[in-house]
Amino acid sequence: MEPQLQIKLPALGAVWYVTARETEVHWVAARELSADHLLVFGAVSDERACRPALVRWLMRKTREHLVPRLQTLSLKTGLRYQRTFVKCPRTRWASCSRHRTISLNAKLLFLAPELVDYAMVHELCHLVEMNHSRRFWELVERHQPDFRKLDHRLRDMWKGVPRWASGAVVPVYR
């Protein structure tokens, strides 16, 4: 069985090779066969079933790798949050609530590590300033001196998110 798709996750410096296996069930699941091989099985000819299976896998990878990275940055900056959620919204890389909860977008995995760190530092700074005031940006700069360059790069990064992860329903396998 030859891999039919590659999923590049720059945040992890990893490439996953995906193999699809059609089975007689009406659902789709994704299972890691090794450190770089993903098996997607089930009704893989149903594009609407493939996307959620891959997004669930992406969310698991985010919890496994990016939540610990957020914890490390929190300790490094001294900016403490209460909880973390992993979601897959269409328009935000991350967010911070007034309840001190940081939500990470699973699509952060498609970004370079320095952009992931910037997005996380940005949200951690919202724990102190829940706005984009001058004080907020001064705090961001204290923890991320090159934030302007990173913020500019981050704006165009949605183009690098694969269509299956961006919410579009497209044929993943044929």
Tell me, letter by letter, the H, E, C secondary structure of 52-98: HHHHHHHHHHHHHHHHHHHHHHHHHHCCCCCEEEEECCCCCCEEECC
Look at residue 172 in the predicted model and tell me its pLDDT. Answer: 33
Look at residue 167 in the predicted model and tell me its pLDDT. Answer: 63
In a domain, 102, yes or no: yes
In a domain, 97, yes or no: yes
Looking up tokens 């984009």, which residue turns up? 132
Look at residue 73 in the predicted model and tell me its pLDDT. Answer: 98
In a domain, 153, yes or no: yes
In a domain, 173, yes or no: no
In a domain, 174, yes or no: no
* Residue 28 and residue 46 in contact, taking contact as beta carbons nearer than 8 Å: yes
Digitized pLDDT (tens) for each residue of the chain, 174 residues in all: 444 689 999 999 999 999 999 999 989 999 999 999 999 999 999 888 889 999 999 999 999 999 999 999 999 999 999 999 999 998 899 999 999 999 999 999 999 999 999 999 999 999 999 999 999 999 999 999 999 999 999 998 999 999 889 764 333 332
In a domain, 32, yes or no: yes
In a domain, 51, yes or no: yes
- Residue 102 CA to residue 21 CA, distance in Å, equals 36
Tokens of 60: 């698991």
> 96 lies in which domain range?
5-166
Contacts of 48 (CB under 8 A, 6+ apart): 169
Look at residue 169 in the predicted model and tell me its pLDDT. Answer: 39
- Residue 61 CA to residue 32 CA, distance in Å, equals 11
Look at residue 173 in the predicted model and tell me its pLDDT. Answer: 30
Domain tally for the chain? 1
**Domain holding 12: CATH number?**
3.30.2010.10
Backbone angles phi, psi at 43, to 5 degrees: -80, 60
* Long-range Cβ contact pairs of 168-174 (< 8 A, separation 24 or more): 169/47, 169/48, 169/51, 170/47, 170/51, 171/47, 172/5, 172/20, 172/40, 172/44, 172/47, 172/50, 172/51, 172/54, 173/4, 173/5, 173/20, 173/40, 173/44, 173/45, 173/47, 173/50, 174/45
In a domain, 171, yes or no: no
Residue 155 belongs to what H/E stretch? helix 147-155
